[in-house]
Structures are given as C-alpha cells and as structure tokens.
Amino acid sequence: MSLKEFTLGVLENYVTTAAVAPSSRYLAQAMVAPLPLARTRVAVELGAGTGVMTQALLAQLPRDATLFAFEIQPRFQKFLRQKFGDPRLVLIDASAATVGEELRRRGVEQVDAAISSLGITYMSFKKRHAIMDGLTSLFTEQTVFTQFHYVHGLLPWYQIEDGRLRRFDAVDLLKLYFRAIERRFVWLNVPPAFVFACRR
C-alpha cells in the first residue's frame, strides 16, 4: 500500500518528493541510530513521506515524547493519518522552511533530535537556509540531526540563483551549521545513500 501511495505521490510532484522509491529499512535504521532517542522529549521529522522514518522513530521514542512530522503532500498526509494512530505523532501541513515558526507556535523551545528526508539538492539557496536557520535555532549542544543524501546527489550540482550560476554542495551546507559531521554509506537502498549525523 505504501509503495502505491509513494508512486502516486512521486508522479504528482517529483520535485517535492525528490525520490524514486521509498526509503529502505536499512536507511531508516542508519538515520535513526545516531539520535539520542532514549532521552528525547521533542523530535522533528522533515519530509515524512509514507512514514518509513516515522515508524522507526516512534518505535524508539519514549512514551512521553512528541514527534512533529512535516509533510506537505496531501496524499502522504492522508496516508500517514490512516497508518499511525500514535498520540505522540503531530502531523504538520506546512513547509519545512517555516519549521522554527511552526514549532514555536506550538510551544516548543528545544528540539532533542531531528531527521530530514528532504531533497535539499532541488531547493533554492534561500529555502535551504530558511530550513536550517529555523530548525537549528531550537537545537542544544546535545541535539543530533540526521540528513540523507542520495549518492548521485553528491555530484557537482549547479543552479541559477539571483541571476548567478552557483554550485551546491550538501556537505558545505551542513558545515555552516554543525561542528561535527559523521558520514555513513548505505548500500541497501534505492538508490544508495549517504547518511550525515550532525552535532553542533
């Protein structure tokens, strides 16, 4: 069922989905493993999709934790509401670029763990920084953030921004916000992907 929903979501808007297949359980495990979930009270997921990462997070989060999951595709939102009846999950229908504003509006002052499945390669420079600025403004020194990037996404990527041709590099972006970045490669995913575990 999730594969069907995922395929329909991709066909409706590939740029938003930025993927050709749902994440594998191996990628989900690699994304969740570095997070301090046992002591997490507030977790954030950007780009919940059909809930592969969501399920992995909910399996390890404490009973009194809250998972704020951002997803803007209506088809995926409907599927997630049907799939999960967990009261810890708060689904937010808003752009990840408003993450800081949306969380503060809900009384969040600190994020302990965050995960992103967003296709940051396809975003504008302005949107990337809006997401990272808003999210990291709620981080502490103990917060851990993970982001995956498909292996082909690490090839040189150029885009026109404000009339200029600019090069985008995911690692360079992360280095602007984090002091410690660990990288792990996951073969068992379509396509294979790098997972970045980041700490301030």
Structure tokens at 59: 């399996």
pLDDT tens per residue, range 100-112: 999 999 999 999 9
pLDDT tens per residue, range 147-163: 999 986 566 677 787 77
CA distance 183 to 191: 17
Rounded average pLDDT over 156-181: 87
CB 198 within 8 A of CB 147: yes
Decide if pLDDT at 15 tops 70.
no
What DSSP string describes 78-119? HHHHHH---TTEEEE-S-GGGHHHHHHHTT---EEEEEE---
Q: What is the pLDDT of residue 165?
A: 83
Helix (H, G, I), strand (E, B) or coil at 163: coil
Q: Which domains does the chain have, with CATH numbers?
A: 2-199 (3.40.50.150)
pLDDT tens per residue, range 49-77: 999 999 999 999 999 999 999 999 999 99
Q: Tell me how far CA of residue 22 lies from CA of 2, 4, 34, 128, 169, in angstroms.
A: 8, 10, 21, 22, 24
